[in-house]
Amino acid sequence: MEAPPALLEMIENSIQFIYSFGPIFEPTVVLVPEVVVEAVKELSISTGQDYDTLRQVLGLFACYPLGIIMGALPYGKTKHLFSFLLGTFLLQFTLGVQWIHQLITSLVCYGMFLTLPRKTTISIVPIFVMLYITLGHIHRQYIDYLGYTMDFTGAQMVITIKMYSFAYNLYDGEMIAKGTPDRASKKCAPFAIEKLPGLLEFLGFTFCFSNVLTGPAFEYSAYANACSGELLYTPDGKPRGKIPGRLIPCLKPLLLSFLVLGIHVVGSSYFPIHDTVDAQNNTPIIITEEFMSNSIFYRYGYMWIGLFFTRFKYYFAWKNAEGANNVWYAGFDGFDDKGNALGWETSNNIDILGFELAQNFKSLSAAWNKKTANWLGRYVYMRTNGSLIATYSLSAFWHGFYPGYYIFFLSTAMLTFCERIGRKKLTPLFHNAGDPKWSLYGIACCMATSFVAEYSVIGFIVLAWEWTYNTYKSFYFIGHIIPFVFYIVLSAVPSPKKDPKKKD
């Protein structure tokens, strides 16, 4: 069904109006020397790599030497200034004039935080940033439907999380200071902000070079503590504990990022999901007429393996960013009251084994894109009285407007309901507390989780409605029918009586 001509004309005129500001903002791209731009273009031609993708990858790796410099700088405003300038450099290097979207978003939000009540900003700031990313997604899908052109929306998704969370951090801080925190504010107290930081500190956070491109979008408190030295030292300058070395926490995720990148490149070449000639326009391999001539077991197995290799590109980006944050201790969790180091979870955005071997969707979600999951859990799920529909819908909204996103996230909500009823009525019968993780029941749960997850996530990969529908149809909608029947049957089964002698 085609859009009305009047609507298309309005969209086209709006886009051209926005483009008219390009020449105005072009002079702001001042931090990237022309010689660097030309060198990257020549490298792109000589290696046969896409120019935009190459810039993105080089930008990610540049965070490591920049992180070394950041770690050597004195604590305080110098670090904030450096974080802002280097974040600006990376955005200008990878996006050119489109870096201005990050600056506009930051300044508009800061103006709201500076002038409006906190009860207002927890509504208007999320609305503003979600509207901004919405327009970005619509623009991208309009001019490059199903394409993979790099634009500002990736970085915009990161700042959306930051600003959305920041609004609630300030609100929670005010409620706690007044002595009237609600349940959600109490749970999020460790991330609360007592007062609005200065503009330099704020821009240092929003432009933080080590996570501005792909995240992870951790809380402002983590960034501020890393810049102030609070993570490592007391106010009088004494170490809070034995400061751990950063070499292993930096090199381990960096080397792992190289490994998973290699696995992705090689594996995806043998088991591609999309057409290898023109992925944007040609039918995905898994629903071509030739591929459909194979048995359902072969087709499902192929898709299973293909999706396994596909997600390794996300592992690469997140593990690379993890090491870049750890270089200057931004990923360090600090010390406990006894001076023991707590670890490096702040920058860890993916638990690869935890995801691949998850026994339920709760564990699956907790292991994948952790900081985004934290945002959705703390500032959407908890603030909507535990609404799965609101949480998954906003997540889909944040990703964009391809039909495959919504089918995937709504399917995930259904599967989560199934998991909850299964945990309530089946788990006590087969998997009591204290049993080894890899019992027969545990393995069965792992296989079942993987089976339905791979089925449902395909919409997230092929995106278009027709491609998503035809893929599910090729498997007779089995991944939707089985969970539906599972839920109906278990709803009629009485819950097992709880043994009062056993712990939860």
pLDDT digits (tens, 9 = 90+) for 4-16: 788 778 888 888 8
Q: Would residue 216 be called left, alpha or beta, if left means φ above 0 and alpha means ψ between -120 and 50 degrees?
A: beta
Least confident span in 98-102, 324-328, 334-338: 334-338
Q: What is the pLDDT of residue 444?
A: 85
Q: What is the pLDDT of residue 434?
A: 45
Least confident span in 64-68, 344-348, 428-432: 428-432
Strand-pairing partners, residue 498, are: none
Identify each DSSP E strand in 43-143 by its residue range.
Answer: none
> What is the DSSP code (8-state) at residue 341?
B
Strand-pairing partners, residue 233, are: 239
- Count other Cβ atoms within 10 Å, centred on residue 164: 25
pLDDT in tens, 15-47: 888 889 889 999 999 999 999 999 999 999 998
Would the pLDDT of 441 be above 90?
Answer: no
Mean pLDDT, residues 82-111? 96
Please, which residues have CB within 8 angstroms of residue 131's CB and are 6 or more apart in sequence? none
Please, which residues have CB within 8 angstroms of residue 118's CB and are 6 or more apart in sequence? 170, 171, 174, 175
Q: What is the pLDDT of residue 2?
A: 59
Could you tell me the pLDDT band of residue 501, with boundaries at 50, 70 and 90? low
Could you tell me the pLDDT band of residue 433, with boundaries at 50, 70 and 90? very low
Q: Which two tokens stand for residue 297?
A: 């077991």
Q: What is the pLDDT of residue 431?
A: 58
Q: What is the pLDDT of residue 3?
A: 63
The Cα-based distances of 347 to 103, 241, 328 in angstroms read 24, 20, 11
- Which string of DSSP letters, residue by residue, matches 229-273? TTTTB-TTS-BSS-PPPSHHHHHHHHHHHHHHHHHHHHHHHHS-S
Give the three-class secondary structure for 335: strand
Average pLDDT of the chain is 91
Residue 447, Cβ density class (10 Å: 0-12 exposed, 13-18 middle, ≥19 buried): exposed
Closest CA to 283 of 469, 140, 51: 469
The Cα-based distances of 276 to 145, 284, 459 in angstroms read 17, 9, 18
Identify each DSSP E strand in 449-495 by its residue range.
Answer: none
Would the pLDDT of 237 be above 90?
Answer: no
Cβ-contact 168, 122 below 8 angstroms: yes
Cα 117 to Cα 199: distance, rounded to the nearest angstrom:
18
Would the pLDDT of 499 be above 60?
Answer: no
Could you tell me the pLDDT band of residue 432, with boundaries at 50, 70 and 90? low
Mean pLDDT, residues 184-195? 94
Q: Which two tokens stand for residue 173?
A: 């801080």
Q: Which helix (H) or strand (E) holds 68?
A: helix 51-72
Percent of the residues in the chain that have a pLDDT greater than 70, as a whole number: 96
Percent of the residues in the chain that have a pLDDT greater than 90, as a whole number: 71
For 152, list phi and psi in degrees, rounded to 5. Answer: -75, -10
Would the pLDDT of 504 be above 60?
Answer: no
Cα 257 to Cα 347: distance, rounded to the nearest angstrom:
14
Q: Which two tokens stand for residue 307?
A: 């999706």
Would the pLDDT of 436 be above 60?
Answer: no
Strand-pairing partners, residue 335, are: 341
Cβ-contact 290, 302 below 8 angstroms: no
Cα 196 to Cα 217: distance, rounded to the nearest angstrom:
19
Strand-pairing partners, residue 341, are: 335
Cβ-contact 468, 455 below 8 angstroms: no
Cα 124 to Cα 115: distance, rounded to the nearest angstrom:
12
pLDDT in tens, 397-418: 899 999 999 999 888 888 888 8
pLDDT in tens, 355-372: 999 888 888 888 999 999
Please, which residues have CB within 8 angstroms of residue 141's CB and are 6 or more apart in sequence? 400, 401, 402
Cα 205 to Cα 299: distance, rounded to the nearest angstrom:
46
Q: What is the pLDDT of residue 155?
A: 95
Mean pLDDT, residues 213-239? 92
Report pTM.
0.91
Could you tell me the pLDDT band of residue 150, with boundaries at 50, 70 and 90? confident
